[in-house]
Amino acid sequence: MSGSALPLPQRLPLLPLATGLLALLLWELLVRWARIPNVLLPSPGSVAGSLWLAAPQLAWHGLATGGAAVGAFVVAVAAGLVLATMMMLWPLVNRLLYPNLLLFQLLPKVALGPLFVVWLGIGLPSLLAFAVFVSVFPVAIGMLTGLRAADANQVRMCQAAGGSNWQVFRHIRLPTAMPYGFAGAKVAATMAFTGATVGEFISANAGLGYMVMQAQAKSDTPLIFAALAVLCLLGAGLYAAVGVAEDAARRRWGTRR
């Protein structure tokens, strides 16, 4: 199956890494050869220089964005799980919420950002609320889909053994839903960073999104790229953390098939 038992160095994706490095190299050569101005497209080298020079600033603003995104992610996952559980256990809640949830899922949610500023003002509360708003849907819908995917015969078997609704939920539906829940959480991890950054574009005085806006005003394109690089790294970090949690959960509860 998956090579998760292999030592770490062997798991590093060498080939895609090589492709990435090659692309960076070509990029560097292209910028030098065509003498593209730094404002238009900075070379990887000058972005690296920016990363080095602005490191303290990047760390500070990265912490702000990372904190906001992780906080929003945690809240979104918790809220998504609660929503899915309530919709599963109480049909009325499901009928009240599910169609609306699907509708919201279809909306270009990021476009609603300015509304949060209107309601909650400029600052952390509106930013957090917005990041939670854009990331809660994939968790809720993924989890609900998983809870409903439980095998009808297994549910019957559990009921025949005397299982209550709650026990059917706990022992049949929850284990079935786990992979779906984690898939939703992975989408939520990227959405939380999207939400936090867009929130900072429109309503913050800290964070990488704010930094990007500042750098843009000063036409410091290398710094924009440096901030985006840190953002990618943070996003990948949260995504990887969810993956590690999923591996651990599957090993613990044995839902690996």
Closer residue to another protein, CB minimum distance, 218 or 257? 257
Give the single-character DSSP code of 187. H
Closest approach, Cβ 162 to another protein, in A, equals 5
Distance CA 116, CA 114 (A): 5
Asked if 161 is part of the footprint of another protein (rule: CB under 8 A), the reply reads: yes
Which residues, in sequence order, are CB contacts of 30 under 8 Å at separation 6+? 36
Instruction: Return the range that interacts with another protein (CB under 8 A); candidates 10-18, 105-113, 155-163, 193-201.
Output: 155-163
Q: What tokens appear for 103 in the block?
A: 């509708």
Instruction: Return the range that interacts with another protein (CB under 8 A); candidates 9-17, 64-72, 162-170, 236-244.
Output: 162-170
Closest approach, Cβ 92 to another protein, in A, equals 21
Q: Is 6 exposed, middle or buried (0-12, 13-18, 19+ CB in 10 A)?
A: exposed
Asked if 163 is part of the footprint of another protein (rule: CB under 8 A), the reply reads: yes
Q: Is 193 exposed, middle or buried (0-12, 13-18, 19+ CB in 10 A)?
A: buried
Locus of tokens 């999104």: 209
Asked if 5 is part of the footprint of another protein (rule: CB under 8 A), the reply reads: no
Asked if 183 is part of the footprint of another protein (rule: CB under 8 A), the reply reads: no
Asked if 255 is part of the footprint of another protein (rule: CB under 8 A), the reply reads: yes
Closer residue to another protein, CB minimum distance, 2 or 153? 153
Asked if 252 is part of the footprint of another protein (rule: CB under 8 A), the reply reads: no
Closer residue to another protein, CB minimum distance, 182 or 193? 182
Locus of tokens 């996952």: 77
CB atoms within 10 A of CB 180: 20
Residues in contact with another protein by CB under 8 A are 151, 153-154, 156-163, 167, 171-172, 175, 253-257
